[in-house]
Amino acid sequence: MDKLKRLSECVAAGDAESAAALAAEMLGSGADPQEVLDGGLIAGMNAVGGRFKAREIFLPDVLMASKAMQAALAVLQPRLAAGGGTPRGTVVLGTVRGDLHDIGKNLVGIMLRGAGYRVVDLGKDVPPERFVEAARAEGARVIGCSALLTTTMGVMRRVVELARAAGLPVKVIVGGAPVTADFASAIGADGYGYDAGHAVERVEALAGDR
């Protein structure tokens, strides 16, 4: 079995120790960190999502898998964030109120830092007001909102409304599995990212850095 497949199975099985060790071994033998992420970690989480939906596995299994994903992601992080460079301004980032999914949001934060942005990560379950208060206090150029549930996507609309009402010179970008470009424009967001790399491109464009 190839190593990417093995890694995705370690993640899906919730085996954090093997997932982290295998990710380190792959990087050590010259694998591309983006390929390890996409073909190993994200593939593993997608398999978990499918099995959970089909009721073949249950919430504790999903939680174990997300811990394995995070352990392997910690190994990849320095390589994914290797861009560095001059600070390009601040992005306030968080997962919206009612939503505890933070793996994708964390990945967006890693890639933004790698692209040279200062990221103020508000965490998960973040009320809309908090995004706007933080953007004001931190002088942010962009607010990034993540949502993984169809029931929490609507909170993003409130973030956009409050940001506009506050009259701040801040752009709002949204993303997460159920979010689409059409949804983003329907709620008046300035941008939409379908994955972490695309989110960085959109932030660069909105902040005038591209």
Question: Which residues contribute to the site for ligand B1M (CB under 6 A)?
Answer: 42, 45-46, 48-49, 52-53, 59, 62-63, 66, 98-105, 107-108, 144-146, 148-150, 173-178, 193, 195-196, 199
Q: Please, what is the minimum distance in Å from the beta carbon of residue 53 to ligand B1M? A: 4
Residue 114 corresponds to which tokens in the numbers above?
């790698």
Judged by beta carbon, residue 31 or residue 101, the one nearer ligand B1M is 101
Q: Please, what is the minimum distance in Å from the beta carbon of residue 178 to ligand B1M? A: 5
User: Which of 151, 149, 153 has the alpha carbon at shortest distance from 186?
Assistant: 153
- Give the chain's end-to-end CA distance (angstroms, integer): 41
- Burial class of residue 84, CB neighbours in 10 A (0-12, 13-18, 19+): exposed
Rounded Cα gap, residues 174 and 182, in angstroms: 11
Rounded Cα gap, residues 140 and 105, in angstroms: 17
Q: Please, what is the minimum distance in Å from the beta carbon of residue 202 to ligand B1M? A: 8
Judged by beta carbon, residue 26 or residue 108, the one nearer ligand B1M is 108
User: Which of 154, 157, 177, 51 has the alpha carbon at shortest distance from 105?
Assistant: 177
User: Which of 88, 86, 96, 85 has the alpha carbon at shortest distance from 172?
Assistant: 96
Judged by beta carbon, residue 29 or residue 133, the one nearer ligand B1M is 133
Q: What strands lie across the sheet with 90-95, from one edge to the other?
A: 118-121, 90-95, 142-146, 171-175, 191-193
Amino acid at 172: V
Q: Which helix (H) or strand (E) holds 209?
A: none
Q: Please, what is the minimum distance in Å from the beta carbon of residue 174 to ligand B1M? A: 6
Judged by beta carbon, residue 29 or residue 191, the one nearer ligand B1M is 191
Judged by beta carbon, residue 15 or residue 99, the one nearer ligand B1M is 99
Judged by beta carbon, residue 28 or residue 62, the one nearer ligand B1M is 62
Q: Please, what is the minimum distance in Å from the beta carbon of residue 153 to ligand B1M? A: 8
Q: Please, what is the minimum distance in Å from the beta carbon of residue 130 to ligand B1M? A: 15
